[in-house]
């Protein structure tokens, strides 16, 4: 790379690959500027959607240690760099692609693991991290409540059994 502007672009893209939890490659052919603006908004605050040059992005991905995306750098390519919850951004991409068939999800990478377009769509079908954590907390709370009831039931059952035994002995003692 002879030109310093290209070297700077590659360094910036490599930093984005390193600092992102996930990156999703898309083809945006046929989308208008207004539609791209809508797409950027639908991805949320934790994602940056950038139209990129394939050769520079491929070099940057390789510098960041990601070589699994090499086959996806063909045609007009844009990358969604996701720094937050990947599920939220994947949902935004999936929903936008439903309304705008010109957006094609090519594939991506999540925590260093390559993802196909189908795997990204499956990721979009997951519930968000917050919802999953809330469900987990609810399950733990339910188990704690059951355990507390069990521990409360044992002493009260013992007291009822002792009271029944005392009443039976008193009845037998009074019958003699």
Q: Would you say residue 43 has pLDDT above 60? A: yes
- The rounded distance, in Å, linking the Cα atoms of 93 and 24 is 9
* Residue 24 and residue 67 in one domain: yes
pLDDT value of residue 4 = 82
Reported as type and span, the H/E element at residue 68 is: none
Average pLDDT, the chain: 83
Q: Would you say residue 174 has pLDDT above 70? A: no
In which domain, by residue range, is 138 found? 129-175
- Mean pLDDT within 83-102: 87
* Residue 113 and residue 133 in one domain: no
* Residue 29 and residue 94 in one domain: yes
* Residue 122 and residue 134 in one domain: no
Q: How many domains does the chain have?
A: 2
Q: Map tokens 């987990």 to a residue.
A: 136
* Residue 115 and residue 133 in one domain: no
pLDDT value of residue 176 = 55
Q: Map tokens 């990601």 to a residue.
A: 66
Least confident range of 61-65, 118-122, 128-132:
128-132
Sheet with 104-110, side-by-side order of all strands: 47-52, 77-82, 22-27, 104-110, 113-116
With bands split at pLDDT 50, 70 and 90, how would you rate the model's confidence at 7? confident
Contact criterion met (CB below 8 Å) for 86 and 123: yes
pLDDT value of residue 81 = 92
- Please report the sign of the dihedral spanned by the C-alpha atoms of residue 64, residue 66, residue 7, residue 28: negative
SS3 state at 33: helix
Helices (H) and strands (E) in the chain, counts: 6, 5
- The rounded distance, in Å, linking the Cα atoms of 3 and 156 is 82
Q: Which phi-psi region, left, alpha or beta, contains residue 30 (left: φ > 0; alpha: ψ -120 to 50)? A: left
pLDDT value of residue 1 = 47
- Mean pLDDT within 58-81: 87
- Mean pLDDT within 24-45: 88
């Amino acid at each position: 790379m002879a030109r310093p502007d290209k070297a700077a672009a590659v360094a910036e893209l490599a930093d984005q690959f390193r600092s992102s939890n996930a990156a999703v490659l898309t083809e945006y052919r046929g989308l208008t500027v207004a539609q791209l603006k809508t797409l950027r908004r639908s991805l949320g605050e934790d994602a940056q959607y950038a139209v990129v040059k394939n050769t520079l992005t491929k070099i940057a991905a390789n510098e960041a240690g990601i070589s699994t995306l090499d086959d996806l750098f063909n045609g007009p390519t844009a990358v969604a760099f996701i720094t937050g919850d990947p599920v939220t951004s994947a949902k935004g991409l999936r929903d936008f692609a439903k309304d705008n068939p010109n957006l094609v999800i090519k594939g991506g990478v999540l925590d260093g693991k390559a993802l196909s377009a189908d795997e990204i769509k499956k990721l979009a079908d997951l519930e968000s991290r917050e919802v999953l954590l809330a469900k987990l907390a609810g399950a733990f709370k339910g188990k704690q409540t059951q355990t507390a009831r069990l521990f409360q039931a044992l002493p009260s059952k013992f007291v009822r059994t002792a009271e029944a035994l005392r009443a039976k002995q008193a009845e037998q003692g009074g019958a003699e």
